[in-house]
Amino acid sequence: MAAAWARFDDCSEDEAPAFRAVIDALVAELPDGSPLGPFERACAWDSTGRSDRAVPLYREALALGLGGYRGRRAKIQLASSLRNIGEPEEGVKLLTPELDAPPDELDDAVRACLALCLSGLGRDREGLSLVLGALAPHLPRYQRSMANYARLLVEPED
């Protein structure tokens, strides 16, 4: 699977069906009921521009118990796909609880995707607040200022 994905960046749009076929063949080697199968297939559809085909597969993977790091990836990617197909509200509902999940390297991706979903709902200030809050710790200076600005975007005015 890793080798197939490593070659994906060199894949042209015309080669997308062949790439998905490779993923399907690899998934066929997994045991029945493995949540990794629908997850990998969803990723392949999503990465080749077919969010509509990815959404039900992400849902299936999560319903089959996909958890941990891949489960969190599936939620991020599902929320992004939902936004792409015009359902950003569902993406917000899916990712908002992830803000309270134990921290990991996907935290900024959660915030970025949630910000896009919020923007899709016209809630740009909330989205910008999330993005600034995620960016602030990575800045060489101004971390405290940016974190405060992020907070003030959504804090009620006195």
Give the tens place of pLDDT for each residue, 60-119: 999 999 999 999 999 999 999 999 999 999 999 999 999 999 999 999 999 999 999 999
Look at the pTM and tell me if it is higher than 0.85. Answer: yes
The answer on pLDDT for 155 being more than 80 is yes
Q: Which long-range contacts (CB under 8 A, 24 or more apart) does 105-114 make?
A: 106/69, 106/72, 106/73, 106/76, 107/134, 108/134, 109/76, 110/72, 110/75, 110/76, 113/76, 113/79, 113/80, 113/83, 114/79
Average pLDDT over residues 17-32: 96
Summarize pLDDT for 126-145 with one digit per residue, the tens.
Answer: 999 999 999 999 999 999 99
Query: What is the pLDDT at residue 156?
Result: 75
Neighbours of 20 (CB within 10 A): 18
The pLDDT, as a whole number, for residue 158 is: 63
What's the chain's average pLDDT?
A: 95
Q: Does residue 156 or residue 31 have the better pLDDT?
A: 31
Phi, psi (rounded to 5 degrees) for 96:
-55, -45
The span from the CA of 45 to the CA of 21, in Å, is 10
pLDDT of residue 8 exceeding 90, the answer is no
- Evaluate whether the domain defined by 2-122 bears CATH number 3.10.310.10: no
Question: CB-based contacts of 14: which residues, under 8 Å, 6+ apart?
Answer: none
Give pLDDT, residue 10: 76
